[in-house]
Amino acid sequence: MLAFVAAVCWALYSNLTRRWAREAETGAVPLFLLASGMVLGVLRLIFPETTQWNNQSLVELAYMALFPTILAYAFWDSAMRRGNMILVTSLSYLTPLLSIIIGAIYLGVRTGWYLWAGCLLVVFGSLVCKLSVQENP
């Protein structure tokens, strides 16, 4: 259910940002990240779990918060407001492939054929979507 709500919110955010904030200097990324953090914090209180913190996990958390998360949202927001939306969304489907490669290398995990097949199907699906949508001038 949460994944469905997240998908709907993301689609609305991406499309409405382009319509309403195309020429704005600043985007909604900081507000979006703050709101997401607050919602996840509330969910963390509702569904408690055991957590073990160490120096490595703190460094990894700081890296994930600062580098890929903020940059990804900032670039996505800019692309949705001023870029070629069809090209950006099509290329975003490569994310599962990149995620598997980076995760497998970092975690030292061997991936199975079914994981690669799933990634290839997602990439193939994005190519089909890209070819089926005509750009409006």
pLDDT in tens, the chain (137 residues): 667 777 777 777 767 766 666 566 666 666 777 777 788 788 888 887 888 889 998 998 888 877 777 777 777 777 777 777 777 776 777 777 787 788 888 888 888 888 888 878 877 877 777 777 655 54
* Through-space distance between the first and last CA atoms of the chain, rounded to whole angstroms: 37
Total-model pTM: 0.47
Cα–chain-centroid distance for residue 99?
A: 11
What whole-number distance in Å separates Cα of residue 95 and Cα of residue 102? 10
What whole-number distance in Å separates Cα of residue 19 and Cα of residue 34? 22
